[in-house]
Chains A and B, each alone.
Chain A
Amino acid sequence: MLTSFQIQALLVAALWTAGLSLIAFSLGGAVGLLIAVMRVSANRVLRAISFTYIQIVQGTPLLVQMMLAFFGLSILGFSIEPFTAASAAMVIYSSAYFGEIWRGGILAVPKTQWEAAECLALHPFQRFWLIIVPQGLRISTPPTVGFMVQIVKNTSLASVIGVAELTYTSKLINNSTFQPFTVFSLVAVLYFCMCYPLAWWSRKLEDKLNVAHR
């Protein structure tokens, strides 16, 4: 069996996983909103920039993005902490997906809502932020929460650049205890405890939205 010290180490590691996830949710969400707005903008340049950004990020593995953020920047002479590099990679990765999900939600808001807002003499900016964006985000809530589950699980890739999150720590402990079944079962349970509430919340929201759209 594992010592209490090892279990404690796993729990601390789970906190790093949760922290990395929260950074991806918040900063990735903020950048993602900007990307979504650029994607539906009337400005061609902004649309092209955001489109290219999404294509590049979605077309490369997160693992490679992690390595680039850590080793790439180190080679360029920036000394960077593994956790900082992993956070940067997670933010870039999640912002591209959030951006694409929310773009779809914004475009799904009926055109008549724009018209109604226009006929009340609201400025284009007010129409967008007061009427369209809240509804677009609401429409895209289920896929958003679904993607948040992916984010939690994908933080495990930060282990390759030495961030002492759950997966990295579990490998260390396994190397010293040779009890893979016990260690990784415990790790699986810890991940599940973080992901299940999100999945449950997602289903709940989906039911609620379906009722609203009867």
Chain B
Amino acid sequence: MSPIVKLNKVSKSFGSLNVLQGVSFDVAQGSVVAIIGRSGSGKSTALRCMNGLEKINGGEITVCNHHLHQNVTKAQLRALHLDVGIVFQSYNLFPHLTVGQNIMLAPKWVRKQSKAEAKDLAAEVLGKVGLAEKFDAYPEQLSGGQQQRVAIARSLAMQPKLMLFDEVTSALDPELTGEVLKVMENLAKDGMTMVLVTHEMAFAKGVGDKVIFMHQGKVWEEGDGEILSAPQTPELRQFVGNGL
């Protein structure tokens, strides 16, 4: 089966800073890929490039049959966003809308669903993340972990073929982290294709079908979860040595 995501020699720079220097990897349909690495290694940038939040300077990315390159148009990006969901570290819920409205917004305005359809859908995805009773709450009334689960539900409501997670537990304490990871594990079990940038080594090893270690803007090491137990490069050895 051909991969759902394919990065081919992707480069990206911010001014004179070369954040990505020829990054290539694949993501198979239905798999979970964890990208790990130090702060500044380019892992978040790689993820953001995958849904066009950052424009790449060189190479090519294919995501769900959408091709991203230097001259990608706004219409192409919008088509991409219909297939790819993303969850951010800072949740980015819309604070002026209730949980239910946050989730129903895109199905209603983008998918043109009726209010009743959107409401059923919102209730369904909220149930999936275990927050069915929070439909009418405002984001500020929820804990960080709950807000992040709502953000996941909001993304799920668009029925994406691929979900990206950008350090989604980095702002949470261990207990709240646990409840968010549980939701993500269930998604993985349901067969969702997921790419996550994370500092949760145990999760990367346990749930990830593939682990990618990025260092200095390059894919330094890649393999299944076992590379964390038996690193081949001194850089990864040092990284997991500090992490586990």
- Seen from chain A, the residues whose Cβ lies within 8 Å of a Cβ on chain B are 112-113, 115-124, 126, 130-131, 134-135, 138, 212
A121: which B residues are within 8 A, CB to CB?
78, 81-82, 106, 110, 158
In the complex, chain B residues whose CB is within 8 Å of the CB of A116: 88, 92-94
A134 touches B154 (CB 8 A): no
Kindly state the separation between the CA atoms of A120 and B82 in the bound complex, as whole angstroms.
7
Whether A119 lies near B51 (C-beta < 8 A) is: yes
A-B pairs, top 6 by smallest CB distance, nearest first, are A116-B92, A121-B81, A120-B106, A112-B92, A121-B110, A121-B82
How many angstroms from the CA of A134 to the CA of B94 in the assembled complex? 10
Tell me which of B53, B77, B94, B155 contacts A113 (CB under 8 A): B94
Count chain A CB atoms within 10 A of each CB in B74, B90, B92, B155 and give the residue with the most.
B92
Known: A112-B88, A116-B88, A212-B140. A122 touches B96 (CB 8 A): no
The distance in angstroms between the C-alpha atoms of A135 and B77, with both chains bound, is 25
Partner of A135, one of B74, B78, B85, B96: B96
Q: Is B228 an interface residue (CB 8 A)?
A: no
Extra contacts besides A120-B105, A120-B158, A121-B78 (16): CB < 8 Å: A112-B88, A116-B92, A116-B93, A116-B94, A118-B77, A119-B81, A119-B85, A120-B110, A121-B81, A122-B105, A122-B109, A122-B110, A131-B94, A134-B96, A212-B95, A212-B140
Chain A residue at smallest Cβ distance from B107: A120
User: What's the nearest-Cβ distance from chain B to residue A214, in Å?
Assistant: 8
Interface residues, chain B, with chain A CB atoms under 8 Å away = 51, 53, 74, 77-78, 81-82, 84-86, 88, 90, 92-96, 105-106, 109-110, 140, 154-155, 158
Q: Which one of B53, B74, B94, B105 contacts A119 once the chains associate, using CB atoms below 8 Å?
A: B53
Q: Which residue of A lies closest to B138 (CB)?
A: A212
Interface contacts (Cβ under 8 Å), in number, total 54
Contact of B96 with A118 in the complex, beta carbons under 8 Å: no
Q: In the complex, A115 Cα to B48 Cα: how many Å?
A: 11
In the docked arrangement, what's the CA distance between A124 and B155, Å?
A: 18
Q: Is the CB of A135 within 8 A of B81?
A: no
Closest to A120 in B: B106
CB contacts (< 8 Å) of B74 on chain A: these are 124
Q: List 20 A-B contacts (CB under 8 A).
A: A112-B92, A115-B88, A115-B92, A116-B92, A117-B94, A118-B77, A119-B53, A119-B81, A119-B86, A120-B81, A120-B105, A120-B110, A121-B78, A121-B81, A121-B82, A121-B110, A122-B106, A131-B94, A135-B96, A212-B140
Q: Is A120 within 8 A of B88, CB to CB?
A: no
A138 touching B96, Cβ below 8 Å: yes
Q: Given contacts A119-B86, A120-B154, A123-B78, is CB(A135)–CB(B109) below 8 Å?
A: no
**A116-B149 Cα distance, complex, nearest whole Å:** 15
Determine whether the beta carbon of A130 is less than 8 Å from that of B53.
no
Complex Cα gap A122–B94 (Å): 13
Kindly list chain A residues whose C-beta atoms are within 8 Å of the C-beta of B78.
121, 123
Chain A CB within 10 A, most for which of B51, B53, B90, B105: B105
Q: Which of A112, A119, A131 gathers the greatest number of chain B CB atoms within 10 Å?
A: A119
Q: How far is the CB of A194 from chain B (nearest CB, A)?
A: 30
Q: Give Cα A48 to B81, complex, Å.
A: 33
Residues of A within 8 A of B86 (CB): 119
Contacting residues, chain A, for B84 (C-beta < 8 A): 119
Interchain CA distance A70-B8 in the complex, whole Å: 69
Q: Which residues of A contact B95 (CB under 8 A)?
A: 135, 212
- Give CA–CA (A15, B155) in the complex, Å: 52
| B residues less than 8 Å from A120 (CB atoms) | 81, 105-106, 110, 154-155, 158
CB-CB < 8 A to B82: which residues of A?
A: 121
In whole angstroms, what is the CA distance A135 to B105 when docked?
15
**Chain B residues near A113 (CB-CB < 8 A):** 92, 94
Contact A112–B90 (Cβ < 8 Å): yes
- Return chain B residues, CB-CB under 8 Å to A130: 105, 109
CA distance A207 to B110 in the complex (A): 36
Residues of A within 8 A of B53 (CB): 115, 118-119
What's the least CB distance linking A207 to chain B, in Å? 15
What residues on B are CB-neighbors of A115 within 8 Å?
53, 88, 92
Chain B hits for A212, CB < 8 A: 95, 140
